C-alpha cells in the first residue's frame, strides 16, 4: 500500500506535529503540500519534506484550484 499523500493547512505547532509524524512513518504518510501564512513555518515544512514549490502556498485557496495532488487534507489551524 502506498503512503497517504497529505496537504497540511496550518504549519504551526499542530501542523508541524503531523508533518513530523509523516517523517517518522514514511510507510504511512507523505506530506506533499503545505499552506501557511507565516513564511518561517511554511518554509520549514517545505524544506523538511522537499516539497515541490508549486505545492507550497501562503493561502490554502491557492492550492485547491490545482489538479488533485493529495489524498487528504489536515486542517491544523487554530480552533
Q: Is 47 a residue whose pLDDT tops 90?
A: yes
Question: Cell for 15?
Answer: 501542523
Cα distance between residue 41 and residue 44, in whole Å: 5
Residue 65 vs residues 2, 3, 18, 69: alpha-carbon distances, Å:
24, 23, 23, 11
DSSP state of 79: -
Give the percent of the chain with pLDDT over 90.
Answer: 96
pLDDT digits (tens, 9 = 90+) for 14-34: 999 999 999 999 999 999 999
Give the global pTM.
Answer: 0.94
Q: Per-residue pLDDT averaged across 55-66, rounded?
A: 96
Cα distance between residue 35 and residue 28, in whole Å: 21
Amino acid at each position: 500500500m502506498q503512503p497517504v499523500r497529505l496537504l497540511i493547512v496550518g504549519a504551526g505547532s499542530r501542523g508541524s506535529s503531523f508533518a513530523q509524524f509523516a517523517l517518522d512513518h514514511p510507510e504511512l504518510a507523505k506530506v506533499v503540500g503545505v499552506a501557511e501564512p507565516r513564511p518561517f513555518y511554511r518554509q520549514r515544512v517545505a524544506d523538511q519534506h522537499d516539497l515541490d514549490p508549486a505545492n507550497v502556498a501562503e493561502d490554502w485557496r491557492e492550492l485547491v484550484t490545482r489538479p488533485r495532488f493529495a489524498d487528504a487534507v489536515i486542517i491544523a489551524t487554530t480552533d
